[in-house]
Chain A
Amino acid sequence: MNAAITSTGQREFHSGAGEQSLSLDFLHRYLLGNYRDLYAATLALDVNDHNAVLIARNLLATTAEADPDQRHAEGRLIARRLALLPPPRVYGLFRELRRAKVNNRRTRAIMRDWLAARPDLAFDAVKYRGAVKDAVRHAHLRPGGELGPFLFTPHRPAAYTTPILETWRRAHYEQAALYKLPYTVAEGFAAKHRIARAAFLERIAPRLTRLERLRLQESARGLGADAVRADLATMPLTRLASYVLALSPDDRVHRRAELTAALRTAARRSAGDQAGRWGAVVAVLDDSFSAYGSGHKRRRPLAVALACHFLLEALASEYTPLWLSGRSDALLARPYGATPLGERILDGLDLRPERLLIVSDGWDNSPPGLAGEVLRIWRTRLDPHHTCGIVHLNPVYDAADFDVRRLAPTVPTAGIRDAENLVALVELAQFAEGRTGLFELRAHLARRIEEFLREDA
């Protein structure tokens, strides 16, 4: 479960991509072989997209091993999860199934239903042309209207009546037409027509999606295309934190007010009705060098810590952040130095908070193991009645342990991918403390699945 939240099979600070995906692959196989219903139920939880796709793929590939009841339940879970995933992920899954030659009746049905539920299949066909074509072919579908000719013999019709298809056809000859296409498609045509990048960005700006805007904003500014402006206030919290950390320190100082306001707004939105109800909170936030993550997940652990910082600020009535480096300016956080977790936790406990949250990858090295000792003695001798709730949140999957790294057995550890899930994770972690029986887990899962499927209706 923790693995499914944090791992994406990419390289991390401490282990390579190969190790990561090998470890994850084993975990999936193990669960699928031994606890098939639990494995399927995981789809109803907050697992990340990478794992959701893997689970769906594995379930569909092993249809023959499931009995009819299981098949029915799994089918509903998969369909529901696919509806929530971003379309490129789902098309990726379909292509993967095609490559793996998984083409059972259930797979075809799921593909058919998912494609039928797309709001505008013509738009998809333009934006993800190859993927849609593969999906249609693999599921033996007969797309209606002009979609069939568009996918399989695109240049034969002299004109299309569907507007977006017609725009696509015209964009081959006419520069003005490409600005009505989705950005990723237009980019290819712009290269074909040799349009200068700055001019292209300036004119395509209205067609950009929210995240494309955020991603392109800095490079567009460098080119002088000021039309590309992301509305920071509407961005999700963790994504925003990543964006802030990618800016140079000078930029961060210049735009301090704007960035802080955006982060606070996003945090307040994520906090929802819990805002201000958490009492006195102390957070120990890891900005040691290992928070750099890796070339693939640049500064991801630090971004999660930064996002948690702002979220906790919104949740708590009284909030003290303790960064490991000893710095106090969260906006200028950068991965630097060693990880003296033990000392910082002591500082945190000194303040007698109601809740202590630790956001760290669990590599405690200055000195190693001190954090675990401090937490153990705190729980067993100094605070046996749990007056202070301690939760450790870990953004990094540890390939060797098939889990996230724990600090101490007495303190619950939860994997975290997006700071937005923090509230749910902390509640869950406290609930899980002391109770780990399979029966409770199943009961809890059954409830979650019901809720998950009900949202469907």
Chain B
Amino acid sequence: MTDLALTGLSTRPAQAWGGVRLVPLIREKPIEDLRLDARLYDAEFGVVEVDSRTVYSSYIPHGFVASWTRDATPAAAYGTQLRGPAERDRTPSRMPLRFHRRMARRADKNRLRFLPLHLALEGYLALHFGGPEIAWEEWSRRAIDRGLSPRVEEAYAGATVRGLQDALRVFEIHPGQCGVLVYAADTLAAAFVVPHPDDYRALHSTLIHDLYGELIYHYAMLSMPVSDFRARIVDATVRSLADLRAQARRQQEEWAAFHDQVMAGGLLGTGYTYQRVYEMGDYCLSRFLPPFERQRENHIGELITDSAGRLAYLKTFRLSENQIRRGHLLTQLAANGWNLTYTAATLSVTEHELGLRIDAAGFGHLLRQDVLDHYRAQVRRSRR
């Protein structure tokens, strides 16, 4: 499995507002046996009625905040998790949150909010990137002991992305809608899919608290309003009302095909590396990494699929060009077992050039100070 597809979902016409375009995804038949953890909803939503033979599982989206601890302080889910009916009482793996006093407020009585974002992204990246597995002598003590943690990356909260808030407010949720693709200046910013329309309705407004890459932030800031893909029907093809209806339907289909192939093409491509995290019953939770090719779209994310390959849950984050470069470097290092000589050969650069590149990418603290100084001296000498 290397490609990502929107199986079981169909695309509906986009709704544009300013520089933001939202493309709704519809599920003809909602997934009933995988639902958002009931505790996140409070009592109001209740649990779906299940008969004795149906297994009802739930998932907890990454970064969701709820009071899972004993003393009712808020905690955030650490990575998306799947759980079966038997594990109802087990608390999910989580990190406690320490807020300044006012921050712990819940947004509403039965609407919980996503956690403050840099924390989520750090967690996200720590999940994706380990550190050196073999203790080559060039790596510092710290890199071997603690890996890449803490990894700090910058991202922007949805609230600071210009126009996103208004776009989400005026967006009209389709009946049966289970997902959305967010575009800023017609570049794919994020994809979000859930199993059931009720889950979507509950989570729609949380898109504003989500993370978006710096690329998206700048595109939204600088872009002009994007234009609608307006329907166009050629007069000459229409002779009756039935023709007109057929033409209207074709417009819909053409848009869906165009969108899936062209607009979402960067996301739905191939070359992802999947890491299966958890399997339960029919469902499998995986995280995926892009190929880190430069000059193209790269998304990291999490997804849940069922045995038939149907997409139940998906959340992606678009990396910026700098992040792609860093990711590229780290994947190369990991592929070569963190050996600098081999990696340098793969990237066809000299060892000291690679050393400086690691430093420039912000990972200088991982190399031993004397090794790094040695590389610097070598570069200086070669310049003379």
Annotate B138-176 by CB proximity to A: 1 below 8 A, 0 otherwise: 000000000000000000000000000000001011110
Instruction: Say whether A382 faces chain B, with CB atoms less than 8 Å apart.
Output: yes
Point out the residues of chain A lying under 8 angstroms from B231, CB to CB. 342, 367-370, 372-373
Instruction: Say whether A8 faces chain B, with CB atoms less than 8 Å apart.
Output: no
Point out the residues of chain B lying under 8 angstroms from A325, CB to CB. 175
Interface size on B, residues (CB 8 A): 27
| Residue of B13, B173, B175, B244 touching A378 (CB-CB under 8 A) | B244
Point out the residues of chain A lying under 8 angstroms from B240, CB to CB. 382
14 contacting pairs across A/B (C-beta < 8 A) = A336-B175, A338-B15, A338-B174, A346-B244, A346-B248, A365-B15, A367-B229, A367-B255, A370-B231, A370-B248, A372-B231, A373-B233, A377-B244, A381-B239
Cross-chain contact B241 with A382 (CB below 8 angstroms): yes
Which of B12, B231, B255 has the most CB atoms of chain A within a 10 A radius of its CB? B231
Question: Would you give the shortest CB distance from A74 to chain B, in whole angstroms?
Answer: 40
With contacts A337-B172, A367-B13, A381-B239 known, what are 9 further pairs, Cβ within 8 A?
A290-B170, A290-B172, A337-B174, A338-B172, A342-B231, A346-B248, A366-B12, A377-B235, A381-B235
Instruction: Say whether B230 faces chain A, with CB atoms less than 8 Å apart.
Output: yes
The distance in angstroms between the C-alpha atoms of A380 and B173, with both chains bound, is: 33
Cross-chain contact B175 with A382 (CB below 8 angstroms): no
Which of A350, A373, A382 has the most CB atoms of chain B within a 10 A radius of its CB? A373
Cross-chain contact B233 with A339 (CB below 8 angstroms): no
Instruction: Say whether B7 faces chain A, with CB atoms less than 8 Å apart.
Output: no
The distance in angstroms between the C-alpha atoms of A380 and B239, with both chains bound, is: 11
Point out the residues of chain A lying under 8 angstroms from B16, CB to CB. 368
The distance in angstroms between the C-alpha atoms of A19 and B233, with both chains bound, is: 34
The 3 closest A-B pairs by CB, nearest first: A369-B230, A367-B13, A368-B228
Question: Would you give the shortest CB distance from A363 to chain B, in whole angstroms?
Answer: 8
Instruction: Say whether B252 faces chain A, with CB atoms less than 8 Å apart.
Output: yes
| Residue of B170, B229, B233, B238 touching A368 (CB-CB under 8 A) | B229
Contact status of A368 and B230, CB under 8 A, knowing A289-B172, A289-B173, A382-B241:
yes
Contact status of A343 and B248, CB under 8 A, knowing A368-B13, A377-B238:
yes
Contact status of A13 and B170, CB under 8 A, knowing A346-B245, A346-B248, A373-B231:
yes
Cross-chain contact A377 with B233 (CB below 8 angstroms): yes
Question: Would you give the shortest CB distance from B139 to chain A, in whole angstroms?
Answer: 55
Cross-chain contact A350 with B241 (CB below 8 angstroms): yes
Cross-chain contact A380 with B170 (CB below 8 angstroms): no
Instruction: Say whether A233 faces chain B, with CB atoms less than 8 Å apart.
Output: no
- Interface residue ranges of B41-80 to A (CB < 8 Å): none
**Interface of chain B: mostly helix, strand, loop or mixed:** loop
Chain A residue nearest in CB terms to B17: A14
Contact status of A14 and B170, CB under 8 A, knowing A366-B13, A367-B252:
yes
Interface size class of A (residues with CB under 8 A): 20 to 34
| Residue of A338, A346, A367, A380 touching B241 (CB-CB under 8 A) | A346
Cross-chain contact A382 with B238 (CB below 8 angstroms): yes
Cross-chain contact A381 with B175 (CB below 8 angstroms): no
Instruction: Say whether A288 faces chain B, with CB atoms less than 8 Å apart.
Output: yes
Point out the residues of chain B lying under 8 angstroms from A14, CB to CB. 170
Instruction: Say whether A208 faces chain B, with CB atoms less than 8 Å apart.
Output: no
Instruction: Say whether B336 faces chain A, with CB atoms less than 8 Å apart.
Output: no
Annotate B16-42 by CB proximity to A: 1 below 8 A, 0 otherwise: 100000001000000000000000000
Instruction: Say whether B232 faces chain A, with CB atoms less than 8 Å apart.
Output: yes
Instruction: Say whether A151 faces chain B, with CB atoms less than 8 Å apart.
Output: no
Point out the residues of chain A lying under 8 angstroms from B245, CB to CB. 346
Chain A residue nearest in CB terms to B232: A373
Instruction: Say whether B251 faces chain A, with CB atoms less than 8 Å apart.
Output: yes
The distance in angstroms between the C-alpha atoms of A16 and B63, with both chains bound, is: 33
The distance in angstroms between the C-alpha atoms of A338 and B255, with both chains bound, is: 17
Interface residues of B, Cβ cutoff 8 Å to A: 12-13, 15-16, 24, 170, 172-175, 228-233, 235, 238-241, 244-245, 248, 251-252, 255
Instruction: Say whether A349 faces chain B, with CB atoms less than 8 Å apart.
Output: yes
Chain A residue nearest in CB terms to B169: A13
Point out the residues of chain B lying under 8 angstroms from A125, CB to CB. none
Point out the residues of chain B lying under 8 angstroms from A289, CB to CB. 172-173
The distance in angstroms between the C-alpha atoms of A339 and B248, with both chains bound, is: 15
Contact status of A365 and B235, CB under 8 A, knowing A337-B173, A342-B248:
no
Cross-chain contact A288 with B252 (CB below 8 angstroms): no
Instruction: Say whether A1 faces chain B, with CB atoms less than 8 Å apart.
Output: no
The distance in angstroms between the C-alpha atoms of A41 and B253, with both chains bound, is: 50
The distance in angstroms between the C-alpha atoms of A325 and B172, with both chains bound, is: 12
Point out the residues of chain B lying under 8 angstroms from A369, CB to CB. 228, 230-232
Point out the residues of chain A lying under 8 angstroms from B241, CB to CB. 346, 349-350, 382
Point out the residues of chain B lying under 8 angstroms from A377, CB to CB. 233, 235, 238, 244
The distance in angstroms between the C-alpha atoms of A288 and B15, with both chains bound, is: 13
Point out the residues of chain A lying under 8 angstroms from B12, CB to CB. 338, 366
The distance in angstroms between the C-alpha atoms of A365 and B252, with both chains bound, is: 12
Question: Would you give the shortest CB distance from B172 to chain A, in whole angstroms?
Answer: 4
Question: Would you give the shortest CB distance from A329 to chain B, in whole angstroms?
Answer: 16
Question: Would you give the shortest CB distance from A327 to chain B, in whole angstroms?
Answer: 10
Which of B170, B232, B239, B240 has the most CB atoms of chain A within a 10 A radius of its CB? B170
Question: Would you give the shortest CB distance from A371 to chain B, in whole angstroms?
Answer: 9
Chain B residue nearest in CB terms to A370: B231
The distance in angstroms between the C-alpha atoms of A336 and B174, with both chains bound, is: 8
| Residue of A336, A350, A365, A380 touching B13 (CB-CB under 8 A) | A365
Point out the residues of chain B lying under 8 angstroms from A290, CB to CB. 170, 172
The distance in angstroms between the C-alpha atoms of A366 and B249, with both chains bound, is: 11
- Interface residue ranges of A357-404 to B (CB < 8 Å): 365-370, 372-374, 377-378, 380-382
Point out the residues of chain B lying under 8 angstroms from A380, CB to CB. 235
Which of A289, A339, A374, A378 has the most CB atoms of chain B within a 10 A radius of its CB? A374
Point out the residues of chain B lying under 8 angstroms from A370, CB to CB. 231, 248, 251
Question: Would you give the shortest CB distance from A369 to chain B, in whole angstroms?
Answer: 3
Question: Would you give the shortest CB distance from B16 to chain A, in whole angstroms?
Answer: 8
Point out the residues of chain B lying under 8 angstroms from A350, CB to CB. 241
Point out the residues of chain A lying under 8 angstroms from B174, CB to CB. 337-338, 366
Point out the residues of chain B lying under 8 angstroms from A374, CB to CB. 233, 244, 248
Chain B residue nearest in CB terms to A325: B175
Point out the residues of chain A lying under 8 angstroms from B252, CB to CB. 367
Cross-chain contact A339 with B251 (CB below 8 angstroms): no
Chain B residue nearest in CB terms to A367: B13
The distance in angstroms between the C-alpha atoms of A126 and B87, with both chains bound, is: 69
Which of A290, A339, A369, A380 has the most CB atoms of chain B within a 10 A radius of its CB? A369
The distance in angstroms between the C-alpha atoms of A378 and B240, with both chains bound, is: 9
The distance in angstroms between the C-alpha atoms of A284 and B198, with both chains bound, is: 28
The distance in angstroms between the C-alpha atoms of A72 and B175, with both chains bound, is: 58
Question: Would you give the shortest CB distance from A15 to chain B, in whole angstroms?
Answer: 10
Cross-chain contact A288 with B248 (CB below 8 angstroms): no
The distance in angstroms between the C-alpha atoms of A290 and B17, with both chains bound, is: 13
Chain B residue nearest in CB terms to A289: B172
Question: Would you give the shortest CB distance from B248 to chain A, in whole angstroms?
Answer: 6
Chain B residue nearest in CB terms to A350: B241
Point out the residues of chain A lying under 8 angstroms from B172, CB to CB. 288-290, 337-339, 365-366
Point out the residues of chain A lying under 8 angstroms from B235, CB to CB. 377, 380-381
The distance in angstroms between the C-alpha atoms of A44 and B24, with both chains bound, is: 46
The distance in angstroms between the C-alpha atoms of A367 and B172, with both chains bound, is: 12
Chain A residue nearest in CB terms to B12: A366
The distance in angstroms between the C-alpha atoms of A343 and B12, with both chains bound, is: 14
Point out the residues of chain A lying under 8 angstroms from B255, CB to CB. 367
Point out the residues of chain B lying under 8 angstroms from A339, CB to CB. 172
The distance in angstroms between the C-alpha atoms of A368 and B228, with both chains bound, is: 7
